[in-house]
Amino acid sequence: MATTSKTLWEDVLSRGVQEVVAELSTEDAVRLSETYGTHNYKPLPVNVVRGDGVRVWTSEGEEYLDCIGAYSAVAHGHLSPFIMDTIRRQLDRVTVLSRAFYSSEVGLFLKAVCDFTELDMACPMNTEAEANETCIKLARKWGYTVKNVPLDQAEIIVCSDNFHGRTTTIVGFSSEDKYKKHFGPYGPGFKIIPFGDLEALKAAITPNTVAFLCEPIQAEGGILIPPDGWMTEVRRVCDENRVLLIWDEVQTGFCRTGRRFAWMHEPAAKPDLIAIGKAMGGGALPVSAAVGRREVMEVFQPGDHGSTFGGNPLGSVVAIAAMAEMEVKGYSERSAQLGDRLADRFRAFNFSCIKEVRARGLLVGLELDETVDSAAMTHALLAQRLLTKETRKRTFRFTPAISITEDQIDEMGDRVERALASL
């Protein structure tokens, strides 16, 4: 490994980045990350150097099943051939322009994402937090310019155990202390109610309420699924009070739950705005968007909002390819069938420590009771060559690539069973 900045740069230019990276051991990767990177993550002790579908390999050649799929971002599996070919072909054309110009790729992306979401207009961004921030800005401006809420008095209702991102605005309305402590002061304008509680939503609404922002299923919160019919009733309450309904489908969207989007399990729960991302980037690039009804989206005027990289040609063609592969290859149906197969396998386990299995499509949570050391369970899974981590509430999340096969689902079930037995 190069020892000085000068020789590192020369080494990279003469041999290539990949060739230099290939010489790093796991110990090198850990040391560099821990020395030069902030410690806002606590990675598993695995150095992944290659991926293919649902499988990944370490620098030592060990093979693992990736059960977390970058928190639902790698829905197509690692290195989808069609998406990788799309990237290679675009690299010979144009990659980044900014929105200062028109782009054929961006134009087609905007149409594709509106068709896929069944909504009218889109504002492309990069990260998922940006998509949610964009929805917040849209809802507030709509409230002031359309609903006539007094300036700077707009209120947005959110749910406890939410996860919408890590910006200072968003962590300000988190109910998780470790996400928000020491990052204040926080902006006003948000009310927190219990997730899945319709009466609490009704009670929280005032004349200044402009929106209800919620995940249809709380993935980060522990794969928490609301009661049947709740989303439909939320839509009705919002309509009765002229409140925008915003679904955050960053982790639940793009076929993860057995539908294109989780709200589509209850078709009457169609949102006014939706925040999307992760899987739309095809496991290759950060691509996100706020998408919504024309009446809401048209409140943005030139200069109101922007992003240098949001809506770039390279990201656009990747997202178009990602959505096309999902639709043509029946990802919604695959997710529903394979998710049921995995959840049924978990429910058939004969372990008293299993508290509950919660699943909707290939969004599967295995909750263990207090008798199990969750850190020990993580290491037991690693010993069985499975990569995943627990969410809140002692729930281990299984969100593998939707391109996974039945045999690989069964193999995953076998390895989880052995991990539990080892404890």
> Which amino acids are annotated catalytic?
163, 248, 278
**Letter for the amino acid at 284?**
A
Per-residue b or e along 238-264, where b marks 16 or more CB atoms closer than 10 Å to that residue's CB: beeeebbbbbbbbbbbbbbbbbbbbbb
Bridge-partner residues for 274, per DSSP? 247, 291
**CA–CA separation, 172 vs 288, rounded Å?**
22
Measure the CA–CA gap between 238 and 244, rounded to whole angstroms.
6
Q: How many CB atoms lie within 10 A of CB 382?
A: 17
Distances 197 to 200, 233, 330, 383, 408 between C-alpha atoms, Å: 5, 10, 33, 40, 37
Strand partners, 246: 213, 273
Cβ(359)–Cβ(342) below 8 Å = yes
Tokens 């522990």 belong to residue? 222
> Which residue bears the tokens 């193999």?
411
